[in-house]
């Protein structure tokens, strides 16, 4: 393990006001997205859609890393440049989603565990040879008045730690993503209670697996009310609760925290990130690793038409810039207009 290289990669991903574009939707997931814009999901339409983001001029001012799907890692720009090399030449770190999805956790109704550890060492070696320098593994934690069980938290934390150790062995930075879902009607207090427990367990497992925290990026949920909650907490409360939870559970040796958007609107996710960074006294880079919150507007504008390609790029650049400003605590709501 080359710790200096891992630390440098992590800082390229989330330092200097930059964040991560999550463009790693599986083929079924991107198929559902394309259905909303009446566009057929083919290998070429998926390639062209991702190319819209990667070739947006100036994206490297705001984006430090891109999470790719296996198919995309092996694809190229229209003029034949492999996507990983194209991104690397811009100073954007190419990454790869390596888990194979959340599957039902046997014996625990309503809970899941993420799979994909079998053969992962060999897959990581291949991904490194193809240009990937970081990876992503998402653990999914369902939440209600009873869930999650302690066993579900432990099982997912253990898998995250095993994955992380294998990544670092191959000089790949692991993104550690334990996502407490915002589905459902739970309160912000319940979200904080569960996320505290999840993060404590994850960092205990990382320590036991000898994962070097200076060479990871944490990708957590924000502390937020469930989407169906009757009285959802306001933005300032979300920011304060999230920082409180992170300071309680995340060691200062972690270089960066890149939030997932988790079903928030594009504007919500940007505002929450900004409010946290405006609070100051934060020991980590506090950044973003958004999928839908960066892609929703460009997807709708593009709608599968070449005529809208550059307009889609402009919409992406706007969202990327606003999130970069939020990373610096310099976003204002008026900038949306």
Write the pLDDT tens digit of every residue in 48-98: 999 999 999 999 999 999 999 999 999 999 999 999 999 999 999 999 999
Q: Up-side HSE of residue 227: CA atoms within 13 Å toward CB?
A: 11
What is the predicted pLDDT for the residue at 104?
98
For 126-181, give the DSSP string: HHHHTT--EEEEEEEE--SSSPSPHHHHHHHHHHHHHHHHHHHHTT-EEEEEEEE-
What is the predicted pLDDT for the residue at 124?
98
Question: Where residue 41 falls among pLDDT bands split at 50, 70, 90?
Answer: very high
CATH architecture of 3-329: Alpha-Beta Barrel (3.20)
Residues annotated as catalytic are: 177, 219
CA distance 231 to 131: 46
Average pLDDT over residues 257-274: 97
Tokens of 235: 């933005």
pLDDT single digits (tens) 139-150 = 999 999 999 999
- The answer to whether the CB of 234 falls within 8 A of the CB of 262 is no
Question: Where residue 17 falls among pLDDT bands split at 50, 70, 90?
Answer: very high
What is the predicted pLDDT for the residue at 42?
98
Closest CA to 270 of 188, 189, 217, 325: 325
Question: Where residue 260 falls among pLDDT bands split at 50, 70, 90?
Answer: very high
Residue 80: count of CB within 10 angstroms of its CB: 7
Residue 150: count of CB within 10 angstroms of its CB: 9
State the angle between helix axes of 188-208 and 150-169 in degrees (0 to 180), rounded to the nearest 10: 50
What is the predicted pLDDT for the residue at 296?
96
pLDDT single digits (tens) 280-293 = 999 999 999 999 99
Tokens of 140: 């999914």
Mean confidence (pLDDT) of the chain = 98
What is the predicted pLDDT for the residue at 136?
98
pLDDT single digits (tens) 120-170 = 999 999 999 999 999 999 999 999 999 999 999 999 999 999 999 999 999
In sequence order, the β-bridge partners of residue 287 are: 258
What is the predicted pLDDT for the residue at 2?
97
**Domains in the chain: boundaries:** 3-329
Question: pTM of the prediction?
Answer: 0.97
């Amino acid at each position: 393990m080359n710790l200096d290289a891992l630390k440098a990669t992590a800082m390229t991903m989330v330092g200097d006001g930059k964040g991560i574009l999550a463009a790693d939707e599986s083929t079924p997931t991107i198929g559902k997205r394309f259905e909303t814009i009446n566009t057929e999901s083919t290998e070429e339409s998926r390639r062209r859609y991702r190319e819209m983001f990667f070739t947006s001029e100036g994206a490297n001012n705001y984006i430090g890393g891109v999470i790719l799907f296996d198919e995309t890692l092996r694809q190229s720009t229209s003029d034949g440049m492999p996507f990983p090399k194209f991104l690397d030449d811009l100073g954007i770190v190419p990454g790869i989603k390596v888990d194979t999805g959340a599957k039902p956790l046997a014996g625990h109704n309503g809970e899941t565990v993420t799979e994909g550890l079998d053969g992962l060492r060999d897959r990581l070696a291949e991904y490194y040879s193809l240009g990937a320098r970081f990876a992503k593994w998402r653990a999914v934690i369902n939440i209600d008045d009873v869930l999650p069980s302690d066993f579900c938290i432990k099982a997912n934390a253990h898998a995250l730690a095993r994955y992380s150790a294998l990544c670092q062995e191959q000089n790949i930075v692991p993104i550690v993503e334990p996502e407490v879902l915002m589905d459902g009607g739970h309160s912000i207090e319940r979200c904080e209670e569960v996320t505290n427990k999840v993060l404590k367990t994850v960092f205990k497992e990382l320590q036991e697996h000898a994962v070097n925290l200076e060479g990871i990026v944490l990708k957590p949920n924000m502390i937020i009310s469930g989407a169906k909650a009757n009285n959802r907490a306001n933005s300032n409360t979300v920011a304060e609760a999230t920082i409180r939870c992170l300071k309680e559970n995340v060691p200062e040796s972690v270089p960066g925290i890149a939030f997932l958007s988790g079903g928030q609107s594009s504007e919500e996710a940007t505002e929450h990130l900004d409010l946290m960074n405006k609070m100051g006294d934060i020991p980590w880079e506090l950044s973003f690793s958004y999928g839908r919150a960066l892609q929703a507007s460009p997807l709708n504008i593009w709608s599968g038409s070449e005529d809208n390609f550059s307009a889609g790029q402009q919409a992406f650049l706007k969202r990327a810039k606003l999130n970069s400003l939020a990373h610096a605590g310099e976003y204002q709501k008026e900038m949306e207009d």
